[in-house]
Amino acid sequence: MECRIRKKESPEPNILNQASPFPDEVLERVLGMVKSRKDRSSVSLVCKEWYNAERWSRRSVFIGNCYSVSPEILTRRFPNIRSVTLKGKPRFSDFNLVPANWGADIRSWLVVFADKYPLLEELRLKRMTVSDESLEFLALSFPYFKALSLLSCDGFSTDGLAAIATSCKNLTELDIQENGIDDKSGNWLSCFPESFTSLEVLNFANLPNDVNSDALEKLVSRCKSLKTLKVNRSVTLEQLQRLLVRAPQLCELGSGSFSEDDLTAQQYSEIESAFNNCKNLHTLSGLWDPAEQYLPLLYPACTNLTFFNLSYAPLDGDDLAKLLVHCPNLRRLWVVDTVEDKGLEAVGSHCPLLEELRVFPADPFEDEAIGHGVTESGFVALSRGCPRLHYVLYFCRQMTNAAVATVVQNCPDFTHFRLCIMNPGQPDYLTHEPMDEAFGAVVKTCSKLQRLAVSGLLTDLTFEYIGKYAKNLETLSVAFAGSSDWGMECVLRGCPKLRKLEIRDCPFGNAALLSGLERYESMRSLWMSDCKLTMNGCRLLAKEMPRLNVEVIKEEGCYEGPAQRVYVYRSVAGPRRDAPSFVLAHCGPHNARGSGKGSTTWSIVCTMQPYLVCYMRGYFQNL
């Protein structure tokens, strides 16, 4: 399909633009080949001609905070978009820190897209609210729609999926991950018409209900280009075998339940052979309820495996070790902490190419699980065997400064270091000291560090270290840490590349918040909950920085005092108009550039629910 004809914008349309030796169309064609977002951003800043060529040639856009821009502004700048990625709620909404109906609804975007991007092909959403009506609207408004990916979204049910399956004739990708979905029935899968054959990616691992296995088999049979299939837990081993024989070309497989009581020898060997025939598998996941005796079925499929997601398969260390012997090419591994240190030692022994490890807790809320799970020695053993490790997410109940220092010495290339000592404020369990030196070692040694999550008992020293050494840090997550404002000030002052800062339950107050005045416009967002901020501090911030949206989530009826949950983000779209319920007394024609007196007003949003979202809208004297 051709894109919209671009309107000539220069005053003398028939003459080659003097500033550039190329006609616009050529420039567009050349710049159209630039794929990286950052490069495109740089390109658009060179000059006006390049800005225009870039915007006309851009096909995909990524919006990290859906409220930082409006669909109108987006479509005005980029007229030819085919693929949109949108992220909505603050990340802490994943952990129930953001009330329901906070916002980030896709609906208003879809309405504008239906008008301005009729050729839209891809939509990837993370932490957005998506209703069934929106999904139906999507299915009916975009005839060329190909790829839908929903990660950690909420608000929809399988009815919405049925609408997609029914009406999106060219669908290649349906990826439903970890959402708050209302699974009413598995019938949605049967809605794909008989004539539908274009599917390449199907991921419904998230959904608990049975789907019609006959419909699934037929679908898999006729979609010859299917590369990714991730089924849900209700799919049995036996059913999986029938799917595999119909799709030996699969590259990514998510199995269903991996246990079956009545598997005959015949069935066993059929499944074995089905796995054997999948020569292209590089990703394996699912494996719910793994029965130890069936794990060997996977061995032939493991040779080329680069990503093994066992995070729903609570194996013990021995079973993991037996599996990993067959996975020499593993780059990414996700496990449950039932594998314990023994399992991590096995990882160190068998996976020298490992780059990413995530260890999830089997019993995050059980204190009696002390004595189980992984510890600092597993971490160290792992680091010895896997020098290329650069991404770690590690949930544990005990850690020492020395161990972390050793780990980063063995693996100095960490880009993502997320350590979660599950008991808040817990010190080094051997020395009883704070964990400051651990994270100090991390930031001193790992110069490429982009993302850091800290935990354990931490004083301001940790943040001094971070501010001093973590010069490439972009994302920082802090909980139950720090001693005073100084900590947060160090970070805001010292980390030039910081984009996302999320803080909960720390003793950082208004002084710390305001010390970052200069920083927030170069950041995507700041989240602070259960810290020591007050409404006054937030008002001050809003007043000083009119291009920031300063949102406070509060209990009803209290406009003074503590500001319990604060979300600050830059935006060119002004304060959002869709906050829970209705906006009272929204202030008139003033915009961010300000006019009139330097006063602060705020719109208070009244809600039926026990929360208030208060907007701080600052006005600034003309700068």
Partner 1 sequence: MGSYETELNLKDTELRLGLPGCDELEKRSCKRSSMELEDSKCKSNVTTSNNVSSDSSTTNEHDSDSVQPAKVQVVGWPPIRSYRKNSLQQKKTEQGDGAGMYVKVSMAGAPYLRKIDLKVYNNYPELLKALENMFKCTFGEYSEREGYNGSEHAPTYEDKDGDWMLVGDVPWNMFMSSCKRLRIVKGSEAKGLSCL
Residues 302-341 within binding reach of partner 1 (CB under 8 A): 311-312, 314
> Looking at 79, 99, 248, 300, which residue binds partner 1 (CB under 8 A)?
99
Of 215, 245, 353, 511, the one binding partner 1 by CB under 8 A: 511
- Residue 441 tokens, joined: 């070692």
- Pick from 166, 484, 581, 601 the residue near partner 1 by CB under 8 A: 484
CA–CA distance, 343 with 382 (Å, rounded to integer) = 9
The residues near 481 (Cβ < 8 Å, ≥ 6 apart) are 425, 454, 455, 456, 457, 458, 462, 487, 506
State the nearest-atom distance from the C-beta of 490 to partner 1, in Å.
13
Measure Cα distances from 616 to 196, 313, 536, 566, 602 in Å.
50, 46, 10, 11, 5
Q: Select 282 or 372, whichever has its Cβ closest to partner 1.
A: 372
Q: Would you report the helix, strand and coil content of the chain in percent, each value rounded to 5?
A: 35, 20, 45
Q: Is 437 in the site for partner 1 (CB under 8 A)?
A: no
Query: Could you tell me the smallest distance in angstroms from the CB atom of residue 178 to partner 1?
Result: 4
In the complex, what is the shortest distance from the CB of residue 16 to partner 1, in angstroms, rounded to a whole number?
55
Q: From CA 68, how far away is CA 571, in angstroms rounded?
A: 4
Contact residue for partner 1 among 52, 65, 75, 93 (CB under 8 A):
93
What's the min distance (Å) between Cβ of 49 and partner 1? Answer: 46
Residue 333 CA to residue 311 CA, distance in Å, equals 9
Q: Which stretch binds partner 1 (CB under 8 A): 24-32, 104-112, 439-447, 532-540?
A: 532-540
Comparison of 53 and 501: residue with beta carbon closer to partner 1? 501
| Residue 236 tokens, joined | 């049995």
Is 240 among the residues that bind partner 1 (CB under 8 A)?
no
Size of the site for partner 1 (CB under 8 A): 86
- Applying the rule CB under 8 A, the residues between 461 and 480 that interact with partner 1 are 477, 479-480
Question: Which residue in 193, 596, 598, 610 binds partner 1 (CB under 8 A)?
Answer: 610
Does position 614 interact with partner 1 (CB under 8 A)? The reply is no
DSSP-derived secondary structure for 119-165: T--EEEEES-B--HHHHHHHHHH-TT--EEEEES-EEEEHHHHHHHH
Tokens (6 digits) for 378? 């597993």
> Of residues 176-215, which lie at the interface with partner 1 (CB under 8 A)?
178-183, 206, 208-210
Which member of 167, 190, 475, 510 binds partner 1 (CB under 8 A)?
Answer: 510
Closer residue to partner 1, CB minimum distance, 140 or 362: 362
- Least separation in angstroms between residue 90's CB and partner 1 is 12
Minimum distance from residue 231 beta carbon to partner 1 (Å): 14
Burial class (CB in 10 A: 0-12, 13-18, 19+), 518: exposed
Q: Which residues pair with 125 in a beta bridge?
A: 86, 150
Give the residue, chosen from 27, 53, 81, 98, that forms a contact with partner 1 under the rule CB under 8 A. 98
- Residue 482 binds partner 1 (CB under 8 A): yes
Instruction: Give how far Cα 323 sits from Cα of 191, 194, 333, 341, 573, Å.
Output: 37, 39, 12, 16, 51
Which residues between 375 and 434 bind partner 1 (CB under 8 A)?
395, 398, 420, 422-427, 429, 432-434
- Smaller CB separation from partner 1, 378 or 509: 509
Whole-Å CA distances, 431 to 305, 396, 454, 459: 40, 17, 18, 15
Q: Which of residues 26-65 bind partner 1 (CB under 8 A)?
A: none
Closer residue to partner 1, CB minimum distance, 565 or 617 = 565
Residue from 9, 39, 94, 518 in contact with partner 1 (CB under 8 A):
94
Pairing state of beta strands 548-555 and 565-570? antiparallel
Residue among 348 and 482 whose Cβ is closer to partner 1: 482
Q: What is the DSSP string of 539-552?
A: HHHHHH-TTEEEEE
Q: What is the footprint of partner 1 within residues 123-182 (CB under 8 A)? A: 129, 152, 154-157, 178-182
Q: What residues numbered 210-239 form the site for partner 1, per CB under 8 A? A: 210, 233-234
| Measured distance CA(358)–CA(420) in Å, rounded | 11
Residues 260-299 that bind partner 1 (CB under 8 A): 261, 288-289
Question: Which CB, 99 or 387, lies closer to partner 1?
Answer: 99
Task: For residues 99 and 612, give the distance between their C-alpha atoms in angstroms, rounded to a whole number.
Answer: 10
| 44/525 with CB nearer partner 1 | 525
Cβ nearer to partner 1, comparing 106 with 301? 106
Is residue 509 close enough to count as binding partner 1 by CB under 8 A?
yes
Looking at beta carbons, which pairs linking 242-247 to residues 24 or more positions away fall under 8 Å? 242/213, 242/217, 243/216, 243/217, 244/271, 244/274, 244/275, 244/277, 244/278, 245/274, 245/277, 246/217, 246/220, 246/221, 247/220, 247/221
Sign of dihedral through CA atoms 555, 559, 565, 571? positive
- Write out the binding residues for partner 1, residues 489-508 only, by CB under 8 A: 504-505, 507-508
Pairing of strands 611-618, 356-360: unpaired
**What minimum distance in Å lies between the beta carbon of 364 and partner 1?**
5
**Residue closer to partner 1 (CB basis): 2 or 367:** 367
Least distance (Å) from partner 1 to the CB of residue 72? 28
Q: Could you give the CA distance from residue 535 to residue 610 in angstroms, rounded to a whole number?
A: 18
Q: How many CB atoms lie within 10 A of CB 593?
A: 11
Q: How far is the CB of 91 from partner 1 (least distance, A)?
A: 9
Residue 555 CB, nearest approach to partner 1 (Å): 7
Which residue lies nearer to partner 1 by CB, 81 or 541? 541
CB closer to partner 1, 61 vs 333: 333
| Residue 575 one-letter amino acid | P
Instruction: Report the residue from 202, 271, 533, 548 that binds partner 1 according to the rule CB under 8 A.
Output: 533
Binding mask 550-569 for partner 1 (x = CB under 8 A): -----x-----xx-xx----
Give the chain's end-to-end CA distance (angstroms, integer): 46
Q: How many CB atoms lie within 10 A of CB 267?
A: 14
- Our CA angle for 183, 184, 186, nearest 5°, is 80
